[in-house]
Structure 1
Amino acid sequence: MPTHRKQQEEARDQHSVVDESEAVLRTENVKVTYGDTLALRDVSMDVPKNQVTALIGPSGCGKSTLLRCFNRLNDLIDGCKVEGKVFYRDKNLYSSKIDPVSVRRRIGMVFQKPNPFPKSIYDNITYGAKVNGFKGDMDELVEQSLQRAALWGEVKDKLKENGLSLSGGQQQRLCIARAIALKPEVVLMDEPCSSLDPVSTERVEDLIHELKEDYTIVIVTHNMHQATRVSDFTAFFNAEESDDGSRFGYLVEYDRTERVFEDPQEEATQKYVSGKFG
């Protein structure tokens, strides 16, 4: 059975499955700690442009922690420290010269639980644009964003209604519309379907397929079937217990989705995708 160190070395090599010229995001030996507790260790991988990359693995393996590294949301967590390098378009996002707020405009986020603002549907879409000094046609921005999120037809006659009045699936698509209204290049999704019914989940998954024409998408999911349905690349993370009894995550295998699920190179990956643990 491969040692953890051997798995780490092989996982680092596997970032080459993505042509570097096509990589929008890139990590080099990323390590994340919360206070004195190690959460994620030595993650190196490339995320390709206009593709969907899924992060899978058992609870506690650092998937969401890594996702938050990509737009510096971990900065908002007291005691969190990120070491290593995270590049966006060859710019180190953790350089002292980089403004985290500007990062989040280019790299949007959709959370696990739909979180519309307690405002009208219209104001949900325009809020970020106004804050960022958008000078264009707000009505056009709202319509385009809702159309891209496959929601326009359902809400075009009730834009003044509160976003919280929508169904769960509609709220999540509203949150996606709100994220893309800022015209990011990357959209991060942290288990976006975990609280949705099957019909709403299917709609969001269909939307993900459509959005990758214009956006690079990274999605955290516990649903392996979902990973096979929506993603082009898959990164499998596992968790290991440290000396103090806490758990930290590490990257085991990263490759095209069909290879990860049909011909995994690591025993741990094979056990996870076949349902033997996790």
Structure 2
Amino acid sequence: MTNLSSSSATTDVKVITMTDKTSVRPTAGLGSAGKSPAIAAEPVMDLTDVSVFYGDFEAVRGVSLPIRHNQITAMIGPSGCGKSTVLRALNRMNDLVAGARVAGSITYHGQDIYAPGVDPIQVRRHIGMVFQKANPFPKSIYDNIAYGPRLNGIKRRAELDVIVEEALTGAALWDEVKDKLKTSGLALSGGQQQRLCIARAIAVKPEVILMDEPCSALDPIATSKIEELMFQLAEDYTIVIVTHNMQQAARVSHYTSFFTAEVDDAGVRHGRLVEFDDTQKIFTNPAEQRTEDYITGRFG
């Protein structure tokens, strides 16, 4: 990675290990991505003892986990457990919130993305984000996709044409919109708008794509298209998805991290990572009772 930081760091990642259990009831069936990887891929990003603060309030405490290359990592847990806060920390979106700060270490290919001298805009070029609600720009479909490349200095129409077609094809949208590229992106259906936002994200060729509840506002058919798209994108990108839908996490992800909110001795709630492992293990044989209770519907 270039032009992100003047310093680099390597870290040891603490991954919660599994123990044998026989009393866990399986939940949803696992999709093709949910099958345990035969060989663990190398981490693209590492979180080590990460805490996120808003002013004096510690919203998330002590999170350690790897984000592995060309794998889909799901973050699940009840509302208020810090999933989205951690996700936004991965490309410094929390920098836009007054008083927010991150402690611990988040590295991208060994470089601390919060080190002095790191440009958050450069971070976001490598680590893109798709938000919960589709947010196309009030521009044409073409200009939505070309926006990022233009900011990066690409001006030639022929080059932009190629980028737009490749991005829309990569987001499984090209065949649906190729004859109406001058139409406003706001005229698309909800599911198409979300795929447009995914195309806009991949147009600048990031390595990691963060997705914050990308299907929460979509109908089942549109959700199915986005999930199928995730499988395809994982061939070229590393994906991290926050979802409240446990069945979705089981269907689409290779790894799952379960978060919950804990109350400390002072009565203050903090988001905590309870368990991280292969999705198949999380949903069929979790190591922690709290994970089992959540995925079987006993709380949350």
Q: Give the distance between the partners of 2:173 and 2:259, measured in 1 at CA.
A: 33
Q: Is the helix fraction higher in 1 or 2? A: 1
Q: Is the 8 Å Cα contact of residues 147 and 153 (structure 1) preserved in structure 2?
A: yes
Q: CA deviation at 1:12?
A: 3.4
In the other structure, the counterpart of 1:42 is 62
Give unmatched runs, 5+ long, in structure 1. Answer: 1-10
What corresponds to 1:14 in structure 2? 16
Matched, 1:114 2:116: no
Give how far 1:54 is off: 0.1
Which residue in 1 is equivalent to 2:87?
67
Mean Cα displacement is larger for which, 128-137 or 75-84? 128-137
Q: Does 1:256 pair with 2:258?
A: no
Equivalent position of 1:129 in the other structure: 149
The alignment partner of 1:164 has SS state of: helix
Tell me how far apart the structure 2 counterparts of residues 85 and 39 of structure 1 sit (CA, whole Å).
16
Query: How many residues end up aligned between the 2 structures?
Result: 268
CA–CA distance in 2 between the matches of 1:169 and 1:244? 44
Deviations 1:42-92 (A, max 9, x none): 011111100000000001111001001110001110011100010000000
Cα distance per residue 1:201-256 (max 9 Å; x no partner)? 00000000000000000000000000000000000011012455442111110000
Hey, what does 1:183 align to over in structure 2? 205
1:92 corresponds in structure 2 to 112
- State the TM-score, normalized to the length of structure 2: 0.86
Mapped pair 1:155 → 2:177: yes
Aligned in 2, Cα 1:128/1:33: closer, same or farther, shift over 3 Å?
A: same
**Following superposition of structure 1 onto structure 2, how do residues 98-247 of structure 1 map, counting pairs within 5 Å?**
98-134=118-154, 137-243=159-265, 245-247=267-269
Q: CA RMSD in A?
A: 1.8
Distance verdict in 2 for CA 1:101–1:22, change over 3 Å: same
Cα-to-partner distance string for 1:135-185 (whole Å, 9 max, x where unaligned):
561111100000000000110010000000000000000000000000000
Rate the CA distance shift 1:116–1:269 in 2: closer, same or farther, 3 A: same
Instruction: Answer yes or no: is the 8 Å Cα contact 1:32–1:38 preserved in 2.
Output: yes
Aligned equivalent of 1:28: 48
Greater relative CO (CA pairs within 8 A, separation 6+): 2
Q: What amino acid sits opposite 1:251 in the alignment?
A: L
Q: Which runs of 4+ in 1 moved over 6 A?
A: 15-21
Task: Tell me the percent identity.
Answer: 58
Per the TM alignment, residue 132 of structure 1 is displaced from its structure 2 partner at its CA by 1.1
Instruction: Provide the rounded CA distance (Å) in 2 between the counterparts of 1:107 and 1:163.
Output: 23
For residues 81 and 266 of structure 1, the distance between their equivalents in structure 2, rounded to whole angstroms, comes to 29
Match of 1:269 in 2: 291
Q: Distance in 2 between matches of 1:58 and 1:192?
A: 17
Residue in 2 that maps onto 1:4:
none
Q: TM-score, normalised by structure 1?
A: 0.93
Q: 1:120 to 1:135 in 2, by over 3 A?
A: closer
Superposition deviation, residue 37 in structure 1: 1.1
Secondary structure (helix, strand or coil) at the match of 2:241 reads strand
Change (3 A) 1:29 1:20: farther
* 1:15/1:130 CA distance change after superposition, 3 Å: farther
